Homo-oligomer: A and B are copies of this chain.
């Protein structure tokens, strides 16, 4: 069957969980024991060798609920023409967002919205692969008018009109070829969170922070918010390890209310934190605005849990954030992230994506690289988070070199996992979990006998 008559023939789903809680990797003030997981899907097509991959990142329990939500979207996807879907991914995005019965379960937030994001991202993976380009390049090469047609302006048109979006994207074309060459040569700046997990000892923190600088990173990040005395010691330790010229962000993972965020952040000001990330609930636009006024010049950053473009719009309207932290797998896919990148560009606020987890680095690098090549046109004060976890499970893993993400060149959205990883970490029936269950049963029996 030729690609032109090809259809989506199946949406296969997988509940994949990695036992990361056993190493305290990824531990923070709100998430002490995450098992990094992915509710993963493959759009199968009738075209030889053409598939779209997508996923939602979760941290363990509830990954099955997320898979069920993706499965609830299946009837909207199967049977679609691959050519039509790739020519206009917004058609799928619109249908999924617009299903009024499913919309009731959000609207545009939480489990159902993340499921929509996973499916929409898989469609973009398919579209970029079909064009033979990495997604960032596919987007950077696209006609501005077409990109505008991919954005849902409902509920954000009071902040940015389609006309203004078009103007920004047209301006982004100036010098795009040169910036693309720069990306291919040098990559995109990264910062690393690897030294700063709460579960690590001071010795490990020092060692990893120094290593980060030696590896070419100009910014690190520390988790804070569990205990102020500990945080003072850890910030002092980290600042001593990296010296005064390296940016050091801190991240409270929503631990505080407004007042506590101000007090705690102020108490750490002497260590010159570059930004305070997620000081409070991601839903609290006015709270972030109040915190920002009181902790300046320390910057306020949030976004990894911001549910959709409507909340990002308000964070920008209210002057509540200095840094917009998009996440590739929280909102309604590439279409909604285009809206958020446009809003950030319109308000002149830098985007520093959230990454880490399972495959979030792989995905989000494409969005930042598109933004640099063909929208904001700058990497100034912009960095993509980098965490060195679980990349080995991906077919086209990120490469970070001298503190920069190297620009991916393989076609697609870098979302595909190795088949062997899927088979091993499928929950509960993959090889790892089957063996784990058997081992735990054996332990229990031994305890009973003892």
With contacts A100-B59, A281-B310 taken as known, whether A318 is within 8 angstroms of B109 at the C-beta atoms is no
For residue A34, CB closer than 8 A to chain B, the reply is: yes
Known: A72-B62, A111-B110, A112-B65. A101 touches B287 (CB 8 A): no
In the assembled complex, the CB of A199 is this many whole angstroms from the nearest CB of chain B, namely 13
Chain B CB within 8 A of A51 CB? no
Check if B305 sits within 8 Å of A107, measured CB to CB. yes
| Docked-complex contact A58 and B258, CB < 8 angstroms | no
In whole angstroms, how far apart are the Cα atoms of A68 and B314 in the complex? 32
Task: Given A286-B317, A318-B286, check contact A102 B61 (CB 8 Å).
Answer: yes
Decide yes or no whether A132 CB sits under 8 A from chain B: no
Check A284–B257 contact: CB distance below 8 A. no
- Is B307 within 8 A of A109, CB to CB? yes
Residues of B within 8 A of A35 (CB): 101
Complex: how many Å from CA A62 to CA B104?
9
Among the listed B61, B72, B106, which residue makes an inter-chain contact with A64, where contact means beta carbons less than 8 Å apart?
Answer: B72
- Chain A residues 39-93 with CB under 8 Å of chain B are 58-62, 64-66, 68-69, 72
Q: Is the CB of B100 within 8 A of A257?
A: no
Known: A257-B158, A314-B284. A62 touches B110 (CB 8 A): no
A159 to B317 CA separation, bound complex (whole angstroms): 21
Interface-located stretch among A25-33, A206-214, A230-238, A266-274: A25-33
Within 8 A of B (CB), among A245-293: 254, 257-259, 280-287, 290
Instruction: Give A119 Cβ to nearest chain B Cβ, in Å.
Output: 14
Q: What CA separation (Å) do A203 and B60 show in the bound complex?
A: 54
**Contact A105–B114 (Cβ < 8 Å):** yes
Which residue from chain B places its CB closest to the CB of A156 in the assembled complex?
Answer: B257
The answer on a CB contact under 8 Å between B61 and A101 is yes
Contact across chains for B257 and A283 when beta carbons are under 8 A apart:
no
A103 at the interface (CB under 8 A from B): yes
Would A112 and B112 count as touching, CB distance under 8 A? no
CB distance from A332 to the nearest CB of B (A): 13
List of B residues within 8 angstroms of A60 by Cβ: 101
The interface residues of chain B lying within 8 Å CB-to-CB of A103 are 30-31
Cα–Cα, bound, A103→B31 (Å): 9
- Knowing A281-B155, A283-B308 touch, does A62 contact B109 (C-beta < 8 A)? no
Q: Is A113's beta carbon under 8 Å from chain B?
A: yes
Once A109-B110, A112-B110, A285-B286 are accepted as A-B contacts, the answer to whether A30 and B257 lie under 8 Å apart by CB is no
A442 within 8 A of partner (CB): no
What 1/0 mask marks residues of chain A from 299 to 320 whose CB sits below 8 Å from any chain B CB?
Answer: 0000001011011011001100
Indicate whether A59 sits within 8 Å of B154 (C-beta atoms), given known contacts A64-B72, A283-B308, A314-B286: no
**Counting chain B CB atoms within 10 Å of each CB, which of A61, A72, A153, A258 scores highest?**
A61
Please determine whether A106 and B110 come into contact, CB atoms closer than 8 angstroms: yes
Selected A-B contacts with CB under 8 Å, 26 pairs? A30-B103, A31-B100, A31-B103, A31-B104, A32-B100, A33-B100, A59-B104, A61-B72, A61-B102, A62-B101, A62-B102, A65-B69, A65-B111, A68-B68, A106-B110, A107-B254, A107-B282, A108-B281, A108-B283, A109-B307, A157-B259, A158-B287, A285-B286, A286-B318, A287-B310, A287-B314
Q: Which 6 A-B pairs have the closest CB atoms?
A: A110-B110, A111-B111, A61-B101, A60-B101, A158-B258, A283-B310
